[in-house]
Amino acid sequence: MGRLFLIDLEENFYSCKNCETPIALVNHLLSMNYECPFGRAYLFDKVVNVLDGERDEPIPESNSTMVHLFCVQCQYTVGFKFVRRAVLESQRSKIILIRCFLTPSFGGTTKESLSLQG
Ligand SMILES: [Zn+2]
């Protein structure tokens, strides 16, 4: 596998649970309470260090398809995005990261204390 965009995120961020590659900044978090078929999830407007899955899976009775997202480093599934057709470019996709596949990295705060929140 080729491309590797590892960037140094100095702010608070979420990383891949498997290899701890930074995946998303807290600043890009839109919702912490998104429910998806895989359980509790976070909704982001932007993510980094992920690869799109090869296949779009149509969602029945909707104008959308679903694309799986993988960690660029370890290819672990971290979430997916909904891609809507025939709408403005800026509204086209929703990026959903599945909570149980992420590790929060918030400054000096420990994972243990974060797991008690929300
Ligand atoms: Zn990873």
pLDDT digits (tens, 9 = 90+) for 38-71: 788 999 988 999 999 988 888 887 778 889 999 9
Cut 0.75: pTM above it: no
Cα-to-centroid distance, 18 and ligand 1 (Å): 5
- For residue 63, the domain's CATH number is 2.170.150.20
The lowest-confidence range among 22-36, 37-51, 64-78, 103-117 is 103-117
Residue 94 lies in a domain: yes
Would you give the end-to-end CA distance of the chain in angstroms?
A: 36
Name the residue with higher pLDDT: 105 or 30. 30
For residue 22, what are the domain limits? Answer: 13-105
29 in helix, strand or coil? strand
Residue 42 lies in a domain: yes
Cα-to-centroid distance, 28 and ligand 1 (Å): 19
Cα-to-centroid distance, 87 and ligand 1 (Å): 32
Compute how many other C-beta atoms are within 10 angstroms of the C-beta atom of residue 54: 7
Contact 43, 96 (CB under 8 A): yes
- Which pLDDT belongs to residue 70? 95
- Which pLDDT belongs to residue 83? 83
Residue 89 lies in a domain: yes
Cα-to-centroid distance, 50 and ligand 1 (Å): 9
